[in-house]
Structures are given as C-alpha cells and as structure tokens.
Amino acid sequence: MGKTRHKMGKLDFDLTKIKKVKIDEIRVNSWNPKKPNTPEFEKVKKGIQLKGLRGAIIVRENPQDETIYEIIDGHQRYTASKELGFKELYIYNEGDISDKEAKELTIWYQQQVPFDKIDEAYLVNDLVMEYQDTLELPYTEAEEIEMQELANFDFNQYDPNAYQEPTDDEGVKTLKLVLNENAYNVIMQAVTKAQQEADNISTERAVELICADYLGG
C-alpha cells in the first residue's frame, strides 16, 4: 500500500485585498450563528474601546449590490465598532465568492484553540502580581480573583493513592469535572433541556438520563 498523502497548506494572504471603507458600505450576513448582546460581545466592545480594533473585517463582494460588502467574519467587531461611533473600518475582501465558500469560511475562521484554564490562570496571576491596578483585561474583578485562586491552588495537597471509592452501602458518589466554557455551556444546555422535558427533575437525574440515552444509541 502506498503512503497516505496529506494536502499541504498554503499561505493565502493578499495585502492588496486590505483597504479602508466607510462603515456604511458593510453589512452583516444572514447566516451568522453567534447570538447578539451577549456578555462575550460586551468584552469584544470593551476590548476595542481599550485597545482599538486591531484587525480587518473579513468580507466578500455582495452578489446583490456591488457597492456593499458582506461580512464573512467579524460580525461582533463590526457591530461593536458601529455602536462606538466608528465611521470607517479596514476590510479584507475575499472577492466575488459563492455562498457556499463564504459560509465555509465563516466556520473556518472560528476554529481556534481555547486557552488551557489553568495556564490562563497562571498568566493572569503573573500579570496581576507584576502590574496590579494598571492592567486592562477582559475579565470582571470576580473572574480575576477566581483565576488568582486557581493559580495559587496547591494541587499537590491531594494524594491520588489516598482516595477511597465509596462503598455501595453509601449510595452516593461524587463526580467533579473541570470544563472549558464551551463544554460547560453545551452540558448545561443539555441538562436544562432534559429538565424541561422531564418535569423539572434534578440536575443529577438529568445528567443520568442524558448518559443513558447516549448509551442506548
């Protein structure tokens, strides 16, 4: 059998596609999966206020109107900039591409590796310790405190060999998970849906039913 050939990537960035346009020449697309007016949006808006808009909005030429550019990626930054009174924005124009390719790019532009929560906590804690009140970060005071506590938590205080599995007579077991925000949101949406469909059962029972449903195919 021959060796599997992997398709090589390519550097596909054209500086000539970047230009500054009036914000009124840009419009949002009809397929953006992100919800408006979320806490995450407010962080995007705050970031632009504090640090400026440091990237171009990815657009294509509008099939219905040659004078308007349609957003592929950057809906939240565009909306925040408009609310902040921006009159012009930098765009990166992908040109005259099909709906299929535009929607594919919307998805691909969102593929990012999230921070490891513990390493993020170490980074934030180091910044707070060194710069204290001069920091400009996208976190609430409570979030910063939580990350500092995580960074300073002594994980070595737990001896994995000292853990004892509860006996059957005790009847109760504890399951503790550390999740990133996306995983947490997915799980809680599933739990809430299960609770609503099963007459407001407990969270524990909802998780059990979801897992049983998965095992049952």
Tens of pLDDT along 35-87? 988 999 999 999 999 999 999 999 999 888 888 999 999 999 999 999 999 99
SS3 state at 103: helix
10 vs 109, more confident: 109
DSSP string covering the chain: -PPPPPPPP-----GGGEEEEEGGGEE--S---SPSS-HHHHHHHHHHHHH---SPEEEEE-SS-TT-EEEEE-HHHHHHHHHTT--EEEEEE--S--HHHHHHHHHHHT--PPPPHHHHHHHHHHHHHHHGGG---SS-HHHHHHHHHHHT--GGG--GGG--PPPTTT----------HHHHHHHHHHHHHHHHHTTS--HHHHHHHHHHHHHT-
Question: What predicted TM-score, i.e. pTM, was given to this entire model?
Answer: 0.68
pLDDT at 163: 46
R_g (Cα) of the chain, nearest Å: 24
> Of 54, 90, 53, 86, nearest to 69 (Cα)?
90
Number of domains in the chain: 3
Strand ranges (E), the chain: 18-22, 26-27, 57-61, 69-73, 88-93
Q: What's the one-letter identity of residue 27?
A: R
If asked whether residues 150 and 209 sit together in one domain, one would say no
Q: How far apart are CA 87 and CA 9, in angstroms?
A: 36
If asked whether residues 136 and 101 sit together in one domain, one would say no
206 vs 145, more confident: 145
> Of 126, 178, 121, nearest to 144 (Cα)?
121
If asked whether residues 177 and 99 sit together in one domain, one would say no
For residue 1, is it within any domain?
Answer: no
Instruction: State which residues form the domain around 129.
Output: 117-156
If asked whether residues 141 and 176 sit together in one domain, one would say no
Q: 104-113, pLDDT tens digit by residue?
A: 999 999 998 9
Average pLDDT over residues 198-214: 79
If asked whether residues 128 and 69 sit together in one domain, one would say no
CATH number at residue 21: 3.90.1530.10
If asked whether residues 77 and 44 sit together in one domain, one would say yes
For residue 78, is it within any domain?
Answer: yes
SS3 state at 195: helix
* Contact yes or no for 133/56 (Cβ under 8 A): no
If asked whether residues 150 and 197 sit together in one domain, one would say no
Q: How far apart are CA 206 and CA 213, in angstroms?
A: 11
For residue 59, is it within any domain?
Answer: yes
Task: Give 97's pLDDT tier (boundaries 50, 70, 90).
Answer: very high
For residue 72, is it within any domain?
Answer: yes
If asked whether residues 122 and 65 sit together in one domain, one would say no
198 vs 21, more confident: 21
